[in-house]
Amino acid sequence: MKKILRKTATLRDTLFMEHDPGFGHPESPQRLKVINDVLEREEFENFFINPPIKPAPRAVIALNHDKALINRVEETAGNTFDSLDSDTTTSPQSCAAATLAVGALTTGVDLLIKGSIDNAFSLVRPPGHHAERNKSMGFCLYNNVAVAARYAISHHGLKRVMIVDWDVHHGNGTQESFYETDKVLYVSTHQFPFYPGSGNTMETGRGRGEGYTVNIPLPGYQGDADYATIFNKIIKPIGSEYKPELILVSCGFDIYKDDPLGSMEVTAEGFAYLTRSMVQLAEEVCDGKLMLTLEGGYDFTGQRDGALAVLSELSGRSLDVGFSINFNVNAVDKLAGAHSVHPAINQAEEVAKKSWKL
């Protein structure tokens, strides 16, 4: 079968490398450098659209964050070192990078809604999904994906946005942002119990948001087949029923098999399959409008290979770069028929059945 080539944007800027949490911190600039080094190769020059991005205005960031938090983040600008919580530290350009990260995602939303691109991967730092309305935490200054969802609703009139979060950590900030609304469906797979401690199966939303938070907590050591089963049996069917007008993905490569901060076992083939699943769902329900954004991931090989697997599936191109990313396409295809009976998956499915037709 001939692959369909898509107009895929990579939302990138050198400023994202300027955010430096300090020596020995796992959220280092090198996480992004290993991806950019490959994308800047001459042979990939015309593979992706690289649109210009601008910093998000305060008013846009304020769609999801209160004034006190924005002021606090802005206070760090130019400071050699500042600390927003025990593991969230900043350098002189961190505020500028965080503001541009939000701007990257809102730019992606604009381009998707206008039809200028088919899909996008926002390769930004710092990450965002732990940041709450009034608190930066967990390496995150602003919640990039939450602001993007609110922006899509407020500026483009969308009524249904789906956020899928496959980072190894639960996106407590994203869940908090939309816990009481049906305008955003938040679905998270994550290791549990693990930082930040939220995300059990019974956290399903409140009021109008009841059922629109779906948590799939996992004990660890789940691999490609387990994740494929989750996406095939739970996430895609829920998405098909919800029919979002836009799909956003918090893409954490810390579920990679060698990541030092997690104990999952996902490979490059697994990341390709998860992306393929989201591409298929987006094409089914929202004309392909899909944007992934970089969250965690602390093994450099996992970052590089995972990102290239994602971009291969988003664009429909084979990114032959001469190392382990030359993943087995047959192995990716076989994941469509994967069937894991892990108790944690079955439990999450039973809870989700109370709100969705699974």
Q: pLDDT for 230-251, tens place per residue?
A: 999 999 999 999 999 999 999 9
Q: Write the pLDDT tens digit of every residue in 254-296.
A: 999 999 999 999 999 999 999 999 999 999 999 999 999 999 9
Contact indicator for 314, 275 with CB cutoff of 8 Å: yes
Look-up of token digits 């602003």: 142
| Cβ atoms < 10 Å from Cβ of 54 | 12
> How is the chain split into domains, by residue range?
8-352
Q: Which residues contact 157 (CB under 8 A, 6 or more apart)?
A: none
Q: Which CATH architecture has domain 8-352?
A: 3-Layer(aba) Sandwich (3.40)
Judged by phi (left if over 0) then psi (alpha if -120 to 50, else beta), residue 323 lies in beta
Beta strand 82-85 with 88-90 is: antiparallel
pLDDT bin (cut points 50, 70, 90) of residue 43 is confident
- pLDDT digits 0-9 by tens, 189-226: 999 999 999 999 999 999 999 999 999 999 999 999 99
> Residues with catalytic annotation?
130
**Beta strands 290-294 and 246-251, pairing class:** parallel
pLDDT bin (cut points 50, 70, 90) of residue 1 is very low
Give residue 324's pLDDT: 45
Contacts of 143 (CB under 8 A, 6+ apart): 64, 65, 128, 129, 130, 131, 132, 173, 174, 177
Residue 2 CB partners (closer than 8 Å, separation 6+): none
pTM equals 0.97
